[in-house]
A and B are shown apart, each in its own frame.
Chain A
Amino acid sequence: MSLGLKAKLLTIIPKLVMLGLTRFNEFLEEFPDAKTRSTVLILRDDRGGRMAIYIGFQGDRPVVREVDPRSPPRATTEIEMHVDTFIAVLKRRLDFRTAYIHDLVDVRSNDGLPPTYHLILWSAFMDKALEVLG
């Protein structure tokens, strides 16, 4: 992975996602089928650097791990964005939904549901995660 300093800092993302998942029980009340889904989150930079994080479940236990972006495991959803977009969302300078509407976030579906459907789920999850992250 040819990552710059910013991208290296982003290696803490799996921990951030795990932290965000502490509100997952609340999220599951609204979207109970989320446990049956998984996501590969792909972040890229301007120099061709990419990192990928797998987010899924083993039973009731959330699994978050960095994976090889060249051959990520199959997930029900793939979400890809520039690292700057992701940072802007984490800093609440950019709304995740707005980023999607303005083509800053790509959502791909691998389970037959429309990408929009996954976007709605992810947006709700991001809301909860950002509450935890402050």
Chain B
Amino acid sequence: MIPILVTSGKGGVGKTTTAINTALALAMKGFKVSLMDADLMDPTTHLAFNVNKESLREHGKMLLPIKVKVGEVELEFMGLGPFVPRGVGVALSYEKTVDFIITLLKFVRWSGEYLVIDTPPSSLDVNVKLFKELRDRGRAVIVGEPHPYAFEDNLRMLDLLRMYNIDVRAIVLNKYNLFVRELAEAMEKEYESLKLKVFKVPWDAELQLGFKPELFSELVEVLVA
């Protein structure tokens, strides 16, 4: 199984949307795909699939991932979201957060060829723990907006990922059309100089309302190559 981290230096830039649609785009290409929500501070991925805690099951001292179907494709999913009651603030200590992540990574019977992981934003210590676990074998895509602050944060994230020998292949520049064009183009060139394939995703109301994996099919080609 090849882990694909969907990560970013900043929060709220579209990681979850990218993770879900990337997973679906992979599945539409015929791959068996698992999707893990590791964003334990703000778990939301389960909302896209209407997953609830009653769906949890175990077999052979491993948790079984939850099967979710979107159209004709099926994914495996697991995350903290279905486990935490709605509206409850998640105040997990570092130790508990890491324990949750280890449980999700190692004690779920994942069977996908690819494991897409929606991560928490920034270089939080829990992210570092996750990167260490996936050292030398993970692939990654960074998600950001073409804004100067996001750029600085993503440079740090890129450095961190490469420090753990995670193969960062691409950056998704979300809501590309909403930012100053000259700045966005300058950043695009900077990212390309750092050997990242740049994918520009325009702001799209339909992405808020549902799935649009076709927007991510070119990204998937780069991630599986």
A contact residues vs B (CB 8 Å cutoff): 30-34, 95, 97-98, 100-103, 113-117, 120-121, 123-124, 127
Q: Which residues of A contact B63 (CB under 8 A)?
A: 117, 120
Q: Which residues of A contact B60 (CB under 8 A)?
A: 33
With a CB–CB cut-off of 8 A, which chain B residues contact A117?
Answer: 63, 103, 107
Contact A124 B99 (CB under 8 A): no
- Jot down 19 A-B pairs with beta carbons below 8 A, ordered by A: A30-B57, A30-B58, A31-B57, A31-B58, A33-B58, A97-B84, A97-B85, A98-B84, A98-B88, A101-B88, A101-B91, A113-B107, A114-B99, A114-B102, A116-B96, A116-B99, A117-B107, A120-B83, A127-B53
B56 within 8 A of A: yes
How many of chain B's residues have a CB under 8 angstroms from any CB in A? 22
- Expressed in whole angstroms, the Cα–Cα distance for A100 and B93 within the complex equals 11
For A33, the chain B residues whose CB sits under 8 A away are 58-61
Known: A97-B84, A98-B85, A115-B99. A32 touches B91 (CB 8 A): no
Q: Which residues of A contact B58 (CB under 8 A)?
A: 30-34, 121
Chain A CB within 10 Å — which of B57, B58, B88, B90 has the most?
B58
CA of A115 to CA of B101, assembled, Å: 12
| Minimum distance in angstroms from B17 CB to a CB of chain A | 25
B contact residues around A103 at 8 Å (CB): 91, 93
Asked if B93 contacts A97 (CB within 8 A), the reply is: no
CB neighbours (8 Å) of B88 from chain A are 95, 97-98, 101
Give every chain B residue within 8 A of A113 (Cβ-Cβ): 61, 107
Is B1's CB within 8 Å of the partner chain A?
no
B191 in the interface (beta carbon within 8 A): no
* Binary interface encoding of chain B residues 31-63 relative to chain A, with 1 for a CB under 8 A from any of its CBs, else 0: 000000000000000000000010011111101
Residues in A neighbouring B61, C-beta threshold 8 A = 33, 113
Q: How far is the CA of A102 from the CA of B84 in the complex (A)?
A: 11
B164, CB-defined interface residue at 8 Å? no
